[in-house]
Every structure is written in structure tokens, then in C-alpha cells.
């Protein structure tokens, strides 16, 4: 039947799609007529109509002694997608609540750091999804970010990704490098992020094309040139060590972007 396959892709079952299209074609009709045109057994048609009514796609009313069924406007099919989104959101919420406990189980079973590899730009996006899913509001991420290299791979994702972090209430301390003066100035207040602190380091002093973010008990490392991809290292001890190293670099980043003569004096005094 026409449209049946498309309706099944939206979530309707075979007979539900057939009966709904039939109701659209016939208008208000008794179950016998609907069953005959849809080529569905009458007893089954009653069950299918009940299911469609529960989904808001069909209504029934009395006309004398007859019970007639009529399809709701096709715009009501949008409700199917809304319900699917609600179900996904509910399942995601349940999974996020369950993840910490599952992580404890995994750690107790292995008792050692785990390393997982992610290939290509999609792998880097998968790492970002994990970072968002695993983190909690109020968490702080610590990042080394070479923005020129990152933007070449994931630039089109940056604004949406930043907004997701803001929406979840994740705080972010980032030491970034770039050779673009315009980008450098933009990063000082990028996307109006109230949770982010950023400090600049010259690409000459930090020329790495790879980036790193420490979050919770994990370290995410991404490579943005050559074989693009990343790894996630899960180890509370290693993550703690990298946070301490980050803080050392963070304190130094305040005086990195200064005239070369001043920089030379700073280095001399630190010896």
C-alpha cells in the first residue's frame, strides 16, 4: 500500500500503517469497511484501531447505532517522533544515572587503567559525546587546545558543542594556541561562555597539533593531523597527575604571551 513503508519507518507496525492509510482514504467508516479495504482480519482491525487511538492517530464516535472510526490529520504523525524523542531522553537519563555504578563495576573487575581508541573525525565526535554524557553539572574540564588544528577538523561543530557544555553547566579551563590574531581575540569571549576561563600560549612555544582534555577520572587526547583520531585513558591516578601538570602550565600561561625581552628576563630569573 502507498505510504505504508514510510509510515513504518516512523514507528507504525505493518497493520497499523495499513489501517491508518485506509482510514485516511475512507473518512469516517465502520470497522467492517476498514477491515475489508485494509485487508486485515476484522478482529485484528479492532485491536489495531485501539492502538492507533492510543497514539492519537484515530478517533471514534457514535452515529446512531453505528460506531465509526476516523483518522486524525496527518500532522498528528509528528506526535510519533515526539514520543520517540521523549523515550530516548528518558533512556538517556536512566543511562547517565547508571553509568557511574557500571564504571565502578568495571574498575573493580580490571583494577588497571583502560585505553580506548577512536578513529577519524567521527571518533573525535564520539569522544566528545562521552565527555558530555559522563560529566556532571559543575564539573571542570582542563584542556590544552591547538585551535588552528582543531578547527580544521571539527570547526563546524564548535559552536553547537560549546552550547551543549554551557547547557550542562560544565566549567572549562583551557590553555589554547593559535596563529590567528582574530581567532585569539574571539576566543577570549567565545560564544559568551560564562563557565570558561582561557589563557593563551604562543604556537611557537606550544606547537603541538594534538589536544588533551582531563575530565573526571579520564584523559581524552585527540590528534588533528595525519591519522586523525583519539584515545581515552581511564585512570583516576593518571587524571589527577595530569590535572596537577595542567595547573602548573596554567599558572605559567599568564606570563607566556608577553614581549620577548620580558619573557627572557622571566626565564633568567627562574633559573
Q: What is the pLDDT of residue 257?
A: 41
Grid cell digits, residue 156: 563546524
Q: What is the pLDDT of residue 259?
A: 42
Burial of 151 (0-12, 13-18, 19+ CB in 10 A): middle
- The C-alpha atoms of residue 18 and residue 8 are separated, in whole angstroms, by 10
Domain ranges of the chain: 4-79, 114-258
Handedness of CA 42, 45, 50, 56 (dihedral sign): negative
Backbone angles phi, psi at 88, to 5 degrees: -65, -45
Q: What is the pLDDT of residue 64?
A: 87
What is 4-79's CATH number? 1.10.10.10
Q: What is the pLDDT of residue 79?
A: 82
Task: Find out if CATH 3.40.190.10 is the number for domain 114-258.
Answer: no
Q: What is the pLDDT of residue 9?
A: 77
Q: Residue ranges of the chain with pLDDT lower than 50?
A: 191, 255-263, 265-266, 270
Reported as a single tens digit per residue, the pLDDT across 151-197 is: 999 988 988 998 899 999 999 999 999 988 887 777 765 545 678 88
Residues near 74 by beta carbon (within 8 Å), at least 6 away in sequence: 24
- The C-alpha atoms of residue 168 and residue 164 are separated, in whole angstroms, by 6
Q: What is the pLDDT of residue 255?
A: 42
pTM listed for this prediction: 0.55
Give the CA dihedral 70, 76, 82, 86, nearest 10 degrees. Answer: -30
- The C-alpha atoms of residue 176 and residue 153 are separated, in whole angstroms, by 16
Indicate the pairing of strand 218-223 with strand 210-215: antiparallel
Say which residue the cell 568495571 belongs to.
106
Q: Are 4-79 and 114-258 equal in CATH topology?
A: no
| Contact present, 123 and 229 (Cβ < 8 Å) | yes
Q: Which of 85, 96, 177 is nearest to 130 (CA)?
A: 96
Indicate the pairing of strand 196-200 with strand 171-177: parallel
Amino acid at each position: 500500500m502507498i505510504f505504508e513503508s514510510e509510515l513504518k519507518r516512523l514507528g507504525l507496525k505493518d497493520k497499523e500503517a495499513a489501517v491508518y492509510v485506509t482510514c485516511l482514504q475512507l473518512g469516517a467508516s465502520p470497522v467492517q469497511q476498514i477491515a475489508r479495504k485494509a485487508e486485515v482480519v476484522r478482529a485484528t482491525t479492532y485491536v489495531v484501531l485501539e492502538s492507533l487511538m492510543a497514539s492519537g492517530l484515530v478517533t471514534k464516535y457514535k452515529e446512531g447505532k453505528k460506531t465509526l472510526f476516523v483518522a486524525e490529520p496527518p500532522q498528528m504523525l509528528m506526535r510519533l517522533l515526539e514520543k520517540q524523542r521523549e523515550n530516548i531522553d528518558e533512556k538517556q537519563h536512566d543511562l547517565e544515572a547508571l553509568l557511574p555504578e557500571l564504571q565502578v563495576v568495571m574498575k573493580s573487575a580490571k583494577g588497571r587503567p583502560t585505553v580506548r581508541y577512536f578513529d577519524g573525525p567521527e571518533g573525535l565526535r564520539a569522544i566528545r559525546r562521552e565527555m558530555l554524557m559522563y560529566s556532571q553539572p559543575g564539573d571542570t574540564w582542563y584542556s590544552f587546545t591547538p585551535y588552528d588544528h582543531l578547527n580544521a577538523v571539527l570547526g563546524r561543530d564548535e559552536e553547537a558543542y560549546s552550547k551543549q557544555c554551557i547547557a550542562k553547566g560544565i566549567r572549562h579551563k583551557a590553555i589554547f594556541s593559535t596563529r590567528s590574531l582574530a581567532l585569539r581575540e574571539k576566543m577570549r569571549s567565545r560564544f559568551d561562555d560564562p563557565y570558561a576561563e582561557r589563557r593563551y600560549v604562543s604556537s611557537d612555544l606550544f606547537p603541538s597539533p594534538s589536544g588533551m582534555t582531563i575530565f573526571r577520572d579520564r584523559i581524552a587526547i585527540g590528534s588533528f593531523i595525519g591519522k586523525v583520531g583519539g584515545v581515552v585513558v581511564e585512570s583516576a591516578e593518571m587524571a589527577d597527575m595530569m590535572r596537577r601538570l595542567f595547573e602548573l602550565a596554567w599558572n605559567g600561561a599568564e606570563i607566556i604571551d608577553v614581549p620577548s625581552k620580558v619573557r627572557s628576563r622571566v626565564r633568567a630569573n627562574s633559573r
